[in-house]
Chains A and B, each alone.
Chain A
């Protein structure tokens, strides 16, 4: 007996096509909004002259790191190097893409994480989805993103959000679940409402874990943003891709170095933001 081939691929294709045909207008609208968000952020960051931006981000690093002069100096030097390599505009574009992607991922991920911690049913639905999202090779997301949103920054951002969201959900869920039982009992015993318990006890206590999730989310966004260059996302990723196509090691390395600098600075700043 021959078992017929189960048409998984065809079904997915059919579903994606169906969404594209029936919800095209909605997707275009979403696309426009997201594009506006990225552009606005990029323009705002580029509005500042590089010198002022460097001073600003160094100060941010200084205060986020609790008056950490080394971190501030390192940040200033890193961004000076980016400017010096002539990658300023590309780097800012990447930064804007990363920040807006991470923002979207957190906007969805943190509330979903809280819901997961509070509701067993939701948790049992979300958990396998997260496993799926994290193990599916990231390149695969590029295809439906491309179909739904065409070429450009928006599909790159969507693929990035999908890729970067799982740790935010997981760590938020973990953080809220790990709030000691006595502390939630305190909230209840003193007559807190559900929202008061969440806002005044659970989230503050879970904050270090949630911040670790945010940190992971930003880091993953950065790594995905480079891959997203394959579907037309601009910025440093595009420069790296350009280097590959031309086999230009110098060009590729400089763009890669700029990505590393941004990654390290974002990592250190977000790590220090979490309360000790």
Chain B
């Protein structure tokens, strides 16, 4: 996606009341909303909203009812006049436009789709779709031609002469969409466009909007109160609360780096496995060994890192060739075989954009970490079970943030690390364990935040009395069983076991 700014909102404020300027000056003085309401009896609909929308993206404005999202959308085409601020569309400030200029901008650049369809009941489907062209004075034949094309785009060919009352909800909204598309606007404003539809129809319409977006490349600004919808549709999401934007970011950013407790509470119930991708949970694949090196080099690398397996890649592009187990490396050293001969060539690999819910069954069936590989075969990273669980666990953790168990957890992690570093040098007995709790995996978003840490532990060892059992059921790696007898601390054991293969 190119990053041309299509629409820019600067400091938009909307006051509902009789003397908005007074509220503006109070806001500048830094008074709180409730103070201002107390004093002036005026409501602040939007307070200093800023964002940019890039050309060709789907930008979702999300918030609960009353958060100001629909007001914000209506400010963009001045159905509601903003009290202060600027809205630039292709660099032109729409708030400064005359009535004539505004009308032309609305006709050519801004299409709108409404929550309750808002079709004109006295017109046929075709006449509804042609409405925007009709008021521009385009001749009948031409506007009907374009309207037919738009109807075909939304899959309503053959319904041109139907009456609005004969259509189902989903079809009505297709007409609404076609009406907006017929004008060929640059920007589509969609106000809770699918909220009035049945869940199944809604899901279909979302899919169709996405495929439509691929074909027509419009900039879409979509208002929704439904987080799942926002995550599904949005290239980026602006989360609103009380007339202010709390956070703007990609769905992943919203999920993984919530800006404040409001956002994290908001996203707490989300099924992360659908949103997070392989890329977001993978860790750096280091170390890896080049195919041209000998088994001794591979052995040395594994020893340094204290790990039991290593990836084999080829060339500068890090093309993934296979995985080398430490036993096989030892074998090769003794027998003088090449790396290629002893490595395991076929290992599970996944593309970086695979959703986590598809990764999970693969990783459950696999004995090795999953390799994340791009189209060119380059090794981008690896996924171990622990990082998947860690990413998913964020969902369950948020309400208990800062709970009494948090310090324990930090200690656990630190202890774990120490144990690894100070552990017996012999890779045979502890390499597998140490290898996983390396700094990489810790830094790679699994253990870099307090609440997340806790999430992992909760998830891994459970809160039940028998952490060992719990841990094992999560990570039933056969080779690990014997090795994990060694550590004494149950928490640590759980942690290690899961992260081990």
Contacts and interface: CB of A to CB of B under 8 A. Distances in A.
Interface of A: 180, 182-183, 185-186, 188-193, 196, 200-201, 204-205, 207, 275
Contacts of A183: 118, 120
Contacts of B131: 186, 190, 200
Contacts of A185: 74, 79, 112, 114, 118
Interface centre among A183, A191, A200, A201 (most CB of B within 10 A): A191
A275 B112 CA distance: 28
B136 A191 contact: yes
B472 interface: no
A204 B115 CA distance: 22
A182 B135 contact: no
Given A186-B118, A190-B183, 6 more contacts: A182-B115, A183-B120, A191-B102, A200-B131, A200-B134, A204-B120
Nearest to A181: B118
Interface string B105-123: 1110011101110101111
Contact of B79 (A189, A205, A275): A189
A192 B134 CA distance: 9
Contacts of A201: 120
Nearest to B128: A186
A174 to B, nearest CB: 17
A204 B79 contact: no
A38 B62 CA distance: 64
Interface string B63-91: 00000000000100101000000000000
A183 B112 CA distance: 12
Interface centre among A182, A189, A193, A207 (most CB of B within 10 A): A189
Interface of B: 74, 77, 79, 102-107, 110-112, 114-116, 118, 120-123, 131-132, 134-136, 179, 183, 189
A178 B442 CA distance: 62
B79 A188 contact: yes
A193 B116 contact: no
Contacts of B112: 185-186, 189-190
Contact of A191 (B114, B120, B123, B135): B135
B118 A205 contact: no
A182 B192 CA distance: 13
B73 to A, nearest CB: 10
Contacts of B110: 189
The 7 A-B pairs of least Cβ separation, nearest first, read A191-B107, A182-B118, A191-B106, A189-B112, A190-B132, A191-B103, A204-B122
A185 B121 CA distance: 15
Nearest to B112: A189
Contacts of B74: 185
Nearest to A204: B122
Nearest to B136: A191
Contacts of A191: 102-107, 132, 135-136
17 contacts: A182-B115, A182-B116, A188-B106, A189-B77, A189-B79, A189-B106, A189-B111, A190-B179, A191-B106, A191-B135, A192-B103, A193-B103, A200-B134, A201-B120, A204-B122, A204-B123, A207-B122
B440 to A, nearest CB: 52
Given A204-B122, A205-B122, A207-B122, A190 B135 contact: yes
Given A196-B135, A200-B131, A200-B135, A190 B107 contact: yes
B42 to A, nearest CB: 20
B266 to A, nearest CB: 27
A257 B483 CA distance: 109
Given A191-B132, A204-B120, A205-B122, A182 B114 contact: yes
A193 to B, nearest CB: 7
Contacts of A190: 106-107, 111-112, 131-132, 135, 179, 183
B134 to A, nearest CB: 7
A205 B121 contact: yes
Nearest to B114: A182
A194 to B, nearest CB: 9
A186 B107 contact: no
Nearest to B115: A182
A193 B110 CA distance: 16
Contacts of B135: 190-193, 196, 200
Contacts of B189: 189
Contacts of B120: 183, 186, 200-201, 204-205
